[in-house]
Amino acid sequence: MGDEIVTISEMAKLHHLTRQTLIYYDHIGLLKPVSINQHGYRFYSVFQIPVLREICLLKKLGVKLEDIKKSFENRNPDTVINLLKLQKESIEKQIQELNKTKNHLEHRIRFYEALHEEHPINTPHIKEIGPRKVLFVPFLGEPCKNVLHLTLMRAWNQIFDWGMVPSSGFGTLIRCSQFESEDLYRGAGVFVVLPEEKYNLSGIEEISGGTYACMYKYSFPYYKDDFFTLKEWVETEGYEIIGDALDLCLLDTTFYNSEHEVDYCCLQIPVKKKAPLT
């Protein structure tokens, strides 16, 4: 072999690659050796070093091997510029998606971090809560575990179709129009808190911020006895209900343990103080 010939091991070491990588590049037609001896050893020309160097550079920039191969079939400054611009656009889209994922992670972290606050169980209290946008999906039957899970998945799949992640909690919404009715669950359904405010699509409702009567509890987010307990407290304390009730599920089935085998929830009913009698 002359000075212009490089073994596969030397070629690989020079570019911080493995021999297996160069063998693979040979198999896909990206970089073929100039010769292969009777023992199957591959040899390269030193004039292939700039080619492999460029392949390594483009690969470090994230360009796919198939696109690198095509670029060498018609290589000139304009085709390389176009290749790099396309890769830049691809990276920018990936950055946007990663930023969205980061935001969803931050929402989910904040959701769980809020659980570090200790709240007396089954003890009604007043709390100020900010506005929320939710996707509402009605129940298809009397709420129970099966109906809850199936309805929630309908909501989740709709949110996934919108390109969002349901990272900010879910629960059951009970319509205030039914609070005095024997059919409490008419018009009720699952709500999923949306992590972003910009969406204005079918099924999205605005939950007003303000004063809420709240009660943390271990039960399912559709248990009517909890609702009536909190409703009675509201009336006893001189408040009046001004909107739909939300039973937010904070810890679901995936958190069950030997101490609790039901969900951990926060029932929330918007209220205002009754005007004093004159």
DSSP letters along 88-112, please?
A: HHHHHHHHHHHHHHHHHHHHHHHHH
Which pLDDT belongs to residue 3? 64
Phi/psi for 257 (5° steps) reads: -145, -175
**Domain count of the chain?**
3
The verdict on 223 and 164 lying in the same domain is yes
pLDDT in tens, the chain (278 residues): 456 899 999 999 999 999 999 999 999 999 999 999 998 899 999 999 999 999 999 999 999 999 999 999 999 999 999 999 999 999 999 999 999 899 989 999 999 999 888 899 999 999 999 999 999 999 988 899 999 999 999 999 999 988 888 888 999 999 999 999 999 999 999 999 997 666 667 889 999 999 999 999 999 999 999 999 999 999 999 999 999 999 999 999 999 988 889 999 999 999 999 887 66
Are 124 and 254 found together in one domain?
yes
Residue with token string 């809420």: 212
* Cβ atoms 143, 172 nearer than 8 A: yes
| Beta-carbon contacts of residue 148 (< 8 Å; ≥ 6 apart) | 139, 172, 190, 220, 221, 222
Residue 200 has what pLDDT?
67
Q: Which domain holds residue 105?
A: 82-117
Helix axis angle, 77-113 to 65-73, nearest 10°: 170
The C-alpha torsion from 129 through 170 and 157 to 167, rounded to 10°, is 70
Q: Name residue 58's beta-bridge partners.
A: none
CATH number at residue 14: 1.10.1660.10
Q: What residues contact residue 51 under an 8 Å CB cut-off, 6+ apart? A: 31, 72
Question: Are 216 and 87 found together in one domain?
Answer: no
- Cα–Cα–Cα angle for 3, 5, 9, nearest 5°? 120
Contact indicator for 167, 195 with CB cutoff of 8 Å: yes
Is residue 44 located within the same domain as residue 90?
no
Q: Tokens 């590049």 map to which residue?
A: 25
What does DSSP assign to residue 194? -
**Domain finish residue from 75, 105, 135:** 75
Same domain, 191 and 98: no
| The pLDDT value given to residue 198 | 66
- Looking at residue 274, the DSSP 8-state letter turns out to be P
The reply to whether 218 and 90 lie within a common domain is no
Asked whether residue 193 falls in the same domain as residue 112, the answer is no
Closest CA to 58 of 98, 94, 31: 31
The verdict on 136 and 265 lying in the same domain is yes
Residues 69 and 94 in one domain: no
The token pair that represents 271 in the structure block: 């209220």
237 and 147 in one domain?
yes
**Closest residue by Cα to residue 60 from 105, 15, 20, 14:** 15
């609070």: which residue's tokens?
A: 179
Cβ atoms of 155 and 137 within 8 Å: the answer is yes
Kindly report the CATH number assigned to the domain that includes residue 230: 3.20.80.10
Q: Do 104 and 32 lie in a common domain?
A: no
**In this predicted structure, what is the pLDDT of residue 202?**
80
Round to whole Å and give the CA distance between 232 and 28.
Answer: 74
Q: Is residue 278 part of a domain?
A: no
Evaluate whether 51 touches 15 at the Cβ level (below 8 Å): no
Considering Cα of 125, then 250, then 208, then 197, what sign does the dihedral take? positive
192 falls within a domain:
yes
Which of residues 75, 101, 133 is at a domain's end? 75
The number of residues making up the chain comes to: 278
Residues 109 and 197 occupy one common structural domain: no
